[in-house]
Structure 1
């Protein structure tokens, strides 16, 4: 088989992998994407893009179709709190539609894709060899359960006896969206995210502990159940998790971890895509530098662009997994300025 020599090899063709490949091509670099799954690639997620993610995609020349999102609404059994974005709108986009838009842009730029699974990886002074691909740099964008992260020794095992793992479940319903907000419905041990996606289509994602039952959560949400009554699911239930993943570092030699592969807190604030797009931009910017400090530059920028997401999500997750959980929606309602400031901070 012919050996492929490129500046950047991207492992994983999810949204962040394709975005990283597009970033590299726009910077004038040669790039190849390695992915064994067929397109489009789906994933169980909330499918809401913050305004900052919409702007970041537009900068790459990617304009997916979807439903405008004006803000967030938190709901519990007796009250609600909402905040509408101060400036630009977000976008509800079915994951397969987002993937199609990114793949089409990659095709426009002539990005090569190789149908293969990474089973070995060798680093050397001038780059990385993966199968028949030799690259100056490798971007690991292979998700929550990253094979590359494990191969290069950056996997951090979970510690502690208390099982705080959380998982996501998602299903689409054929029903006209009733709001232009992402609704987050809170029950005792789970949250249900409701996202308008298109005309006649709504996505419902449930986040909760291991063995959370999707239908059981909906049965605890009479307002949402009433809305969905009479509609029908248009696909099967999909799952993902555990959501929390950690790495010991974000780089090892000439391998950089991006997106979920670099570590993930939780999906509570819906910021995974925006942060992953920032990782892609940071990675391409770092390898354009000079000398041995390139990976260190990426590590610093990774920390900077991830900070707000990790801090706000960690605080909210800690409250959600503590006796303070029943106070989250009342606090958001009682302190609208604080609630709005947190949403706006994440919306950038």
Structure 2
């Protein structure tokens, strides 16, 4: 266990961690442990549970932290496989965990497994998302899967990805403006008239390996690639925010709408909604290494960061004007975290509706959102009509 500055970073490595209460960090007293230091997967569900998969899991595969205790799920009980690469929550609260051999589905006491004999050639799941129509979409090794809760449909590379090079890897899937976007080993493809068409616009990430896609509530889509970061607004061309030397691995949106980008070689970058860089966190600011694999925003409190040396709970206090933190080693005067788009009610995709004032809390699982009423502690989910 390593402490850098517990008002900002908490490192949780393998073995039983013991936490002390210094500043605003979490307190974990011999409550459990993570079985491996390299964190391959993290996500936060609609109930603010943290889900973690480390790289070394002989008996326990999927870890869950509910804020108090750790729980474990493996092939010894419900899991199809001990490795989890993808996670989404459907409209009924059912949880979909995708891995190398298909999906594990959990809902209350019910569980189900969907494997090769059901999924055909597309059983190696890399990412998944649930659309507004409550359709599950999955990025797979050789294409995209669609499940509308009545049957599965496959989109393979020779059926419209406009990429006849093999092997084909589809690593990311996202919804944007009622469209499905897939990111793979050769760029981005859009689902048009039930066929995936490759994005060949010159400003975009064509022929770059896309590792993550994320929709911002301000109607922008962000693509993390092995050679740079790209952002696109509706009906606008792509813009490159990070240059080709940045090997990007994941994207997350924090509670104030800032864009966090994990990289495998330059730490973590943070941008505002307009794409202006606010800060770059490196080893100089407490990260043990520059390679970061994944990010997940909790509903309140820290940004969870999966690194090659453990799980990090990272809490940064920004200036009121949202400007860069010039010296994160110094505790900035604690201010209430400003509410992002807090005037009115927003639907599951962040579009403004009407009604009472609520705080938007992102689930980090399927691109959907959970809401918290300003006047109570009860989470409220706004369903689309």
TM-score range, shorter chain: under 0.3
Question: TM-score, length-normalised on structure 1?
Answer: 0.26
* Structure number with higher helix proportion: 1
Higher relative contact order (CA 8 A, sep 6+): 1
